Amino acid sequence: MPARIPNAGLTRRDLLKRTGGLAAIAAFAAACGGNTGRPADSGGGGGSKVNLTQWYHQYGETGTKEAALKYAKAYTDSNVAVQWVPGDYGAKLASGLLSSSAPDVFESQLNIAMVKSNQVVPLDDILGDAKDDFNPNDLKTNTIDGKLYGIKMIDDPQVFYYRKSLFEKAGIKPPETVDDLIAAAKELTTDKVKGLFLGNFTGAGGVNISVAGPSLWSSGGAYLTEDNKPGFNNERAAQAFSKLRELNQSNSLLLGAPADWADPGAFVQGLCAIQWTGLWAMPGIQKALGDDFGVFAYPKLDAQGKPALPSGGWSEFVSAKSANVDAAKAFVKALWVDNQESQEDWNLNYGFHIPPRKSLAAKATKLQTGVAAEVVKLNQDYGVVDLPAWTPTMNTAFNDMLTNVMRKGADPAAEIAKADKTVTTELSRLFG
């Protein structure tokens, strides 16, 4: 076939000109675009009020986003635009904080790198008399060198949820030691249901093994000692990590579930008999399973150990880059210090969280009965709060170590030594 020359009144030159022009316009348009998520500066209606942006990670529970928008709208001293960030929140926040479109107010967990690189401002002055009303642990986890950088919004303990009916059928009790846990997981595994779900061990935000901390703490170890040295380079920690290897090899772990461990999906769909997840998931579980479930902490390694669970959560911070630091601080004070009604709503009406304010926690009736009360009690007895000195670099090294031991069968002592080296280097960089 002879090649056809495009005709229709267009010469090749014309065609090139037109398409080239279009492409040039497209390139310009692309370069000029950019939705920073901020409210327009010159938009009417706001008067002389300043504009603030507030970032949240994507909470899984229904109604949370609407609630966040509602709080922002109710605040009248500034115009607050809420950004609800899906996906890898940690990464997006970290790069967002470097750019000019950084949020003024954001939720996160404090780590010392944020302070060293001047990303956050101290918030001691907005706390005032309310300081005594905050749980001391929630202040501790947000304090570096005596300065408070974050206001705790919610406390999120994580525990094992188990199906009571399946336990009764198999004639077993909630595990007291890690060995009991391994035995129970094996016992409860059938061709339809796996014994235990600890997570899929995949994920864009880094593969944090859900029970990494608890397994270490259950042996009596810690991420860092009081004087900021690695607290996991010992024989008992190696033993604790070997138990996770044993669990991994027991063919009783659920892997590749549609939703990861932070979501109760696998548990309520009956894919597993025991699942590790947070207190936040309890309303969903209650709705699906009624009272056919119970909770227990990560069991102690042996008689010398103790049960453990992470008492995590989210805190609100003010970006040091904000053009309106004072207005941002005023907003944080209004929402997370003064406005107890919103705090109560946020903590109890969607997922369950323990309010960091003692006065609110005391009157949180939803957490005072049944299984929720058990979690609160476990949290008081065994909860371990986040350490601000434990940076993402250290956490990655620790989880890599654990992945190698648990999932690849590497020698615990050798892997611990490698993680120890990374953590020590990082510590000396941070503390000299």
Partner 1 sequence: MSSGSATKAAKAPGRGKVAAGSKKRKPGGSGIHGNTFWFWVFVGPFVIGMLVFAYLPILWSLVLSFFEAQNTVTPSNFVGLQNYIDMLTDRNFLSSLGTFSIFALFIVPLTFALSLALALLVNQVKIARAFFRSVFFLPTACSYVVASLIWKLSVFNGVRFGLANTVLGWFGVDQIAWLSSIDPPWYWVPLVTVRLWLQLGFYMILFIAGLQRISPTLYEAAYVDGARPGWQIFRYITLPQLRATSVAVLLLNLIAAYQAFDEFYNLIGNANYARPPLVYLYSISLGSIQDLGRGSAGALILAVIIMVLTLLQNRIFGFGKAND
What is the binding site for partner 1 (CB under 8 A)?
1-3, 5, 11, 13, 20-21, 24, 27-28, 31, 88, 90-91, 94-95, 97-98, 113-114, 116-117, 119, 191-192, 200-207, 254-258, 266, 271, 391-393, 396, 400, 403-404, 407-409, 418
Nearest approach, Cβ of residue 261 and partner 1 (Å): 12
Smallest gap from Cβ 72 to partner 1, in A, equals 25
Q: Which is nearer to partner 1, 294 or 392 (CB)?
A: 392
Residues linked to residue 161 through DSSP beta bridges, in sequence order: 275, 295
CB of 393 to partner 1, least distance (A): 5
CA distances to 64, 163, 346, 420 from 350, in Å: 6, 23, 7, 40
Question: What's 303's DSSP letter?
Answer: T
Instruction: Report DSSP state, residue 202.
Output: -
In whole angstroms, give the CA distance from residue 82 to residue 56: 7
Which element (helix H / strand E) includes 81?
A: strand 79-85
Find the Cα–Cα–Cα–Cα dihedral 304, 156, 138, 53, rounded to 10°.
Answer: 150
Residue closer to partner 1 by CB (options 250, 396) is 396
Q: Rounded to the nearest whole angstrom, what is the least distance from the CB of residue 99 to partner 1 in the complex? A: 9
- Considering the complex, state which of residue 20 and residue 128 has its C-beta at the smaller distance from partner 1: 20
What is the smallest separation between the CB atom of 102 and partner 1, expressed in angstroms? 12
396 vs 406: CA distance, rounded Å = 15
Q: Between 189 and 343, name the residue whose CB sits nearer to partner 1.
A: 189
User: For residue 158, what are the contacts with CB-CB under 8 A and spacing of at least 6?
Assistant: 210, 214, 276, 277, 278, 279, 309, 310, 312
| 3-class DSSP assignment, residue 357 | strand
Q: How far apart are CA 120 and CA 104, in angstroms?
A: 10
Number of Cα atoms under 13 Å in the Cβ half of residue 311: 26
Nearer to partner 1, 330 or 416 (CB): 416
Query: What is the smallest separation between the CB atom of 69 and partner 1, expressed in angstroms?
Result: 26
Task: Kindly tell me which of 97 and 337 has the beta carbon lying closer to partner 1.
Answer: 97
**80 backbone dihedrals φ, ψ, rounded to 5°:** -105, 125
| Long-range Cβ contacts of 340-347 (<8 Å, 24+ apart) | 342/71, 342/74, 343/153, 345/67, 346/64, 346/67, 346/71, 346/153, 346/154, 347/154
The CA distance from 350 to 59, in Å, is 10
Q: How far is the CB of 49 from partner 1 (least distance, A)?
A: 30
What minimum distance in Å lies between the beta carbon of 203 and partner 1?
Answer: 4
Tokens of 92: 């997006």
Identify which of residues 63 and 206 has a Cβ nearer to partner 1 in the complex.
206
Q: Minimum Å distance from CB 114 to partner 1?
A: 7
Torsion of CA 150, 151, 154, 160, to 10 degrees: 40
Residue 60 or 90 having the CB closest to partner 1: 90
Residue 105, token pair as written in the block: 């107010």
Q: Which is nearer to partner 1, 358 or 429 (CB)?
A: 429
Kindly tell me which of 12 and 48 has the beta carbon lying closer to partner 1: 12
Q: Within 10 Å of residue 180's Cβ, how many Cβ atoms?
A: 16
Q: Least CB distance from residue 132 to partner 1, whole Å? A: 33
Nearer to partner 1, 5 or 8 (CB): 5
Sign, CA torsion 67/281/371/218: negative
The three-class DSSP label of residue 366 is helix
Least separation, in Å, of the C-beta of 122 and partner 1?
A: 17
